[in-house]
Structure 1
């Protein structure tokens, strides 16, 4: 490259950089944002955070800028609420203003604002209202969720008994139990813990939870403008979500062939019946895509949260055996169940 060409390239690069910096500065001045540390172009405030101790970083920033402050993760602007009082004021006292879910690139691309967890507006309201109603009044007189939890708790206790008091890692079976409850709610079937389809479903869920915490997924969310060109593990995440969608869609097709709207047997039946009722409504949010995504949300949200609750419950019981003895003496719905049943019921409550 000759000197003239090199000079031209440098000048063009400088002009583009100045334009970017100008837009960046204008963006920082735009709107009435809470105070916060000055961000760097491209990087934002990530160099000012200790990713090994994020709580300490947020606490230090709150001490300096107050309970409400602004951070930038790359080019993404985030307003942080720090402390119980301000969180209560925002999420409880002014809850209607905070009902929408923020944008997360990995979920925007794979879920496309369908289902319950990452949808907003009217779609979210309809899906949430229907799901809560169906979970609370499930089966229209048939077996309640409470009975399904007790049934699965007994199976979980039997799995523990098979260890015969030997040291064991309970992580897997503590994930199987809540997943089975959700399976029975969605399509009225539970699986044996060694069933191949069930094991594959658990593999997909567990792998995706691990991938969400990986650096590749964080990079994907950090640089959304470049995500089309990024290699990495997000492709595995997409593949697993596709497999989970296929798993649920196959069950939906099976239900469609034998559906009796007057006698729904599970969540999918209730949803398909609702779809028929809404078929002449052009603004209805009840379609197959929302059904599949809502089912996936129930799997993901219910399995991991309940499994974590159970694991922490076990750890607390091991640390405080005197409390464990008291819990084991409690009658649970007229049945003497050990503490996993109590925690399974508590964890499932997180769904609502």
Structure 2
């Protein structure tokens, strides 16, 4: 029983769902009029709730993906698991988003005929699909703007493969040094003013912090006192240095999150629908606003309920069958994630 509890920590499922909902909360305001600065998270922390949610995903991903590699350090097995977990759900979401939005809110005549090489390349790169304009007159004209992070998620998977294949995870001080260098960029003023660096450096840095929480799990001490210090130090640093919000959230928020994960909490068992909620939240909100323009709060609540339903369908008919296929082809003892 202890082994099963370690292999499936439902606190992680709850956290992932919370992060996906944060993304929906952020997008409800941004898609409405394109002004993310009035979103509550942006006003409080200089980061939107969407950015905080994505960082949470990448922190957990860094921890779990390195754990997956360490439990079965075979490149083919590792890549098979990663592809089966992320790609089928992504492809179905892209196709459905393109089809539904293209039919219900196309911005140009002949929308489907004009899908070309840029669309194909963007999908092959696991990014946000590049299509002709949709939702004409709206500030955001994309089919599914949330999917841009999938490219960087898979890029981090490939970095784990490279580090693992080279045996660098056995040199933990080196991994820590790389992570500190990346996190240092989050605090550097140069980083704040160069958007072309934000996506790659920022998300890789966050992922690397999660990886270090796993690599140094036998050295990191989780105690209520330290959690209380982190809970106070994070907000204080954010108030004193608002432009360094992300670094404070990743470091202190990361400690609090993994402190919570290791607690013996009784969390109800439920399907891991977070990926599906994330995949479908954006087009659902955009379509809701297109047809029912009004309060972002109403948009958020309606889209969350619909996305939870679609997330469940994605889990039951796409993601879970792929997980079963993964377990069938790989040793059950080695499928930690």
Shorter-chain TM-score: what band?
Answer: under 0.3
Which has the larger Rg? 1
- The TM-score normalised by the length of structure 2 is 0.27
